[in-house]
Amino acid sequence: MKEQKQNVKFDYSFLRGKIREKFGTDKNFAHTVGLNPVTLSLKLKNRISFRQQEIILISNILKLTPEETKKAFFTVLKKEIKGEQDYER
């Protein structure tokens, strides 16, 4: 069975804010969690998905509550009503 690619995109603005609040830059944070800064950037732009282990690690490093973790990683961008090609906050 062929796997279908999902077009779900997530709003990582809360996560970006927490990263900048505690680490100053994405680059500093990427090094702390063991990611290449380019890879982190691609993840935050919805080009690459976060893995479960990364979500747990990042949540622990940023000291996120379960509610904050949900907001940081699982806030879905709303589809535009007129079409499905773009997403918006």
Per-residue pLDDT of the chain (89 residues; tens, 9 = 90+): 555 566 789 999 999 999 999 999 999 999 999 999 999 999 999 999 999 999 999 999 999 999 999 999 999 987 632 345 555 55
Residue 39 lies in a domain: yes
For residue 4, being part of any structural domain is answered with no
Domain count across the chain: 1
Q: Read off the pTM.
A: 0.80
Give residue 82's domain range.
13-88
CATH of the domain at 17: 1.10.260.40
7 part of a folded domain? no
Q: For the range 67-73, what are the long-range contacts, defined as Cβ-Cβ under 8 Å and sequence gap of 24 or more?
A: 68/14, 68/18, 71/14, 72/12, 72/14, 72/15, 72/18, 73/10, 73/12, 73/15
Is the CB of residue 86 less than 8 Å from the CB of residue 10?
Answer: no
Instruction: Say if 75 falls within a structural domain.
Output: yes
